[in-house]
Structure 1
Amino acid sequence: MEVVESDEHRDLRAAVGAIAAPFGGAYYAEHARAGQECTELWQALGAAGFIGVNVPEEYGGGGGGLAELTIVCEEIAAKGAPILLLLVTAAISAEVIAEFGSEEQRKEWLPGLASGRTKVVFAITEPNAGSNTHQLATTARRVGDEWVLDGEKYYISGVDTAEALLVVARTGRDESGTAQLSLFLAPTNAPGLTATPLPVDVMLPERQFTLHFDGVRLPASALVGEEGQGFRQVFHGLNPERITGAALCVGIARYALGRAAQYARDRQVWGRPIGAHQGVAHALAKAKIETELAALMTHRAAALHDRGLPAGEASNMAKYAAAEAAIAAVDTAMQTHGGNGVSAEFGLLPYWGLARLLRIAPVNREMILNFVAQHSLGLPRSY
């Protein structure tokens, strides 16, 4: 891993920032309050090739890796316009299809994912399984030349604007009774699939859904990779999701701190800027340090993934550190603004909600601590 960013990556940051900056915080806050996706920004990023920056060139992508996608996610958030769906379409779906999909699946889906014209969202979470993936109840069974899916998914983002789902389903059990998982590409308009909006109080452009699969029939070609190997395949996508989620958090923190520092320089009380007071300055400085540390771990995790090295520990640590840094940064920014911190005019509250959500998802901080305790420190498993 290079500690100093390359010229190519600095140029990528500048190019992404130049596209995202004209949209900015007011645009994002407006769409978050209305629950409307940031379609114009998505299309602009797609036209410039940045949504598919990690998709292989032969399928219309940029030929880069997760390091480049991480920069895209961080930089749009740093300009005030974090797009949550990049985590599922580009970081999970594109990575999994490129790595495990058949040649037909790659040709069918990757060009659209690369350009941003197509969205494939990820369906793994279930109401009764939580973080225990082995307890997934959604099943897929072979009936002749088809797969039939039955079950329920929960908190699935962006279904209303996606063409397909990457669904995780149980296709059997091994000798020990452990669930064998498989991945499937299912059209969002498939007969038997019902998507119900799931109301949340967080202000987000992306909507959440509960999905019901009632005898959804898919062709044999819908299977992604090998039957029963879904658990291994899923984690090829989950580490990128955690890394890009961390990048989004780093960008949110950078945006909030930029706004707060400007306010602390400009706002005067008793004849001097409030930023001259250590009670304000130290809190912002602490948040800045934590943000930069989280950014280093995030880019280290991306570098490990791109080199095919074990990235689970770094991905989890990056996600933990970045979510904590983002919450602290936005909270400090709001405190710096005083009453204006919750004013719609200043538009900070949507970022606090997103940062708080990213502390829970795509993996909560407690499961990350469990992972580090068990796998990094060798402590007994606690769950």
Structure 2
Amino acid sequence: MSSFSESEERQELRKAVARLAGKYGREWFTAKARSGEKTTELWLEIGRNGYLGINIPEEYGGGGGGIGDIAAVCEELAAQGCPLLLMVVSPAICGTIITRYGTDEQKRRWLPGICDGTSTMAFAITEPDAGTNTHNITTTARRDGDEWVLNGRKIYISGVDEADHVLVVARAEALTSDGQKTGKVKPVLFVVPTDVEGFEYRHIPMEIVSPELQFQVFIDDVRLPGDALVGDEDGGLVQLFAGLNPERIMAASFSTGLARYAIDKAAAYAKERTVFRGAIGSHQAIAHPLAEVHIETEMARLMTQKAAALYDAGDDMGAGEAANMAKYAAAEAACRAADVAVQTHGGNGITQEYGVAGLLVATRAGRIAPVSREMILNFVAMHSLGLPKSY
């Protein structure tokens, strides 16, 4: 008989991360964000305790766990009001791709720092004129002797100012066996130092209250050694999607954590706040919306756990479908939870003091990034239901 409970080890992991994050809390997190400071103290403590690289093999400083473990860490941080966006990027996307496709030397060079938090890696795929259509990215990589030369633009790249390196998705010309151009291009992955000549970035002001900033990146004749290439030059989309499924699972966990935080805040307020007779939580107009979003959040958590289990079992096809569904369900639940939390608080819901209004923007981002809800619906319509492709 299958169990619908997570393993005892996973449950203990959740409790430990919740205790750690609870020492910091939402007020500390938002104060850092509003003052322009970073949450480095929390990030490094997560790393010291072995949670940051829990999905990375032990021989490179990690915990030897899977995506389900790092997703649990991400969710519990968000549930304590400390959502760390770079958890999605550095250990989950970059760490996974390097673990699966990097050389032994690349793993030894980059993974230990990702695990202990002393070296953060950003991920750059989105471009100003491509958006969700990754087939249209125009950042190019061309060979020049033993080196590669990169040129292009990226946008909405998280945490570049905190990163030592960026894993950049580019396109290279495909060649025949005798070195002739075929006229086709292929996706390739490079680790680019953020201090290399020709690499610049510009901050994009955002309404979201977060210590992790967004950037536009400019890549002009950036020269890289041959060993900056991660994976097989002809590996294609398989290597890229090795990081995108974990990205969706982590994004779902990020959203369900925020949803849980919003629901907990609203439920606590509803138990204490009295306006007419009894606490407002005794009134169905307050209680039912909270119950509904709790149900929706728990369903999204289950789908997220399913996606992680499929991915960790090596079922990339099944994980792709489940990860997209989980990301969709989690973002929808989080948006509704934030809205209900604000409404439960009434006028207090839009004050800084009560700390729930900022969740409206934070959760809304989940409907857009890392992949829009519309593209997920396209994916499900085509791959799950067998409907004709619409784009």
Shorter-normalised TM-score: what interval?
over 0.9
Match of residue 244 from structure 2: 238
Q: Does 1:3 align with 2:4?
A: yes
Secondary structure in 2 matching 1:268: coil
Equivalent residue number for residue 260 of structure 1: 266
Instruction: Indicate the residue corresponding to 2:326 in structure 1.
Output: 318
Quote the offset at 1:176 in angstroms.
8.6
1:312 to 1:177, Cα distance in 2 relative to 1, 3 A: farther
Shift of 1:22: 1.1
User: Does residue 222 of structure 2 align to residue 216 of structure 1?
Assistant: yes
Residue 178 of structure 2 aligns with which residue? none
Question: Structure 1 residues 34, 74: closer, same or farther in 2, change over 3 A?
Answer: same
Give the corresponding residue for 1:191.
197
Match of 1:206 in 2: 212
SS at match of 1:269: coil
Are 1:373 and 2:381 matched, yes or no? yes
Letter in 2 for 1:342: I
Q: 1:332 aligns with which of 336, 340, 346?
A: 340
Name the structure 2 match of 1:20.
21
Alignment counterpart, residue 305 of structure 1, candidates 311, 327, 332: 311
Aligned counterpart for 2:253 among listed residues 247, 251, 255: 247
What secondary structure is seen at the aligned counterpart in 2 of 1:169?
A: strand
Do the aligned residues in 1 keep the contact of 2:209 with 2:358 (CA within 8 Å)?
A: yes
Residues 302-360 of structure 1 deviation map (CA, whole Å, 9 limit, x = unaligned): 00000000211000000000000001111100100001111110111222211111110
Contact 2:74–2:253 under 8 Å retained in 1? yes
The answer on 1:123 being equivalent to 2:124 is yes
The 1-side partners of 2:89 and 2:327 are apart by: 15
SS in 1 for 2:69: helix
RMSD value, Cα: 1.3
The Cα shift of 1:33 comes to 2.6
Deviation at 1:231, TM superposition (A): 1.9
For the Cα contact (< 8 Å) 1:35–1:206, is it kept in 2? no
Q: Counterpart of 2:209 in 1: which secondary structure?
A: coil
CA distance in 2, matches of 1:223, 1:256: 42
CA distance in 2, matches of 1:11, 1:199: 38
Pair 1:71 & 2:72 matched: yes
Cα distance, 1:8 vs structure 2: 0.6
Q: Which runs of 5+ in 1 are unaligned?
A: none
Write the distance in 2 (CA, Å) between the matches of 1:14 and 1:337. 28
Task: Confirm or deny: 8 A CA contact 1:94 1:110 kept in the other structure.
Answer: yes
Residue 357 of structure 2 aligns with which residue? 349
Q: Report the CA distance between 1:173 and its aligned residue.
A: 4.6
* TM-score for the superposition, normalised by structure 1: 0.98
1:271 deviates by: 2.9
Distance 2:237 2:37 in 1: 33
Please give the alpha-carbon distance, in whole angstroms, between the structure 2 residues aligned to 1:252 and 1:47: 24
- Tell me, yes or no, if the aligned pair for 1:29 and 1:350 is still in contact at 8 Å: no
Quote the sequence identity (%).
Answer: 53
1:113 maps to amino acid: I
Q: CA deviation at 1:103?
A: 0.7
Change (3 A) 1:230 1:23: farther
Asked if the contact 1:183/1:230 (under 8 Å) is kept, the reply is no
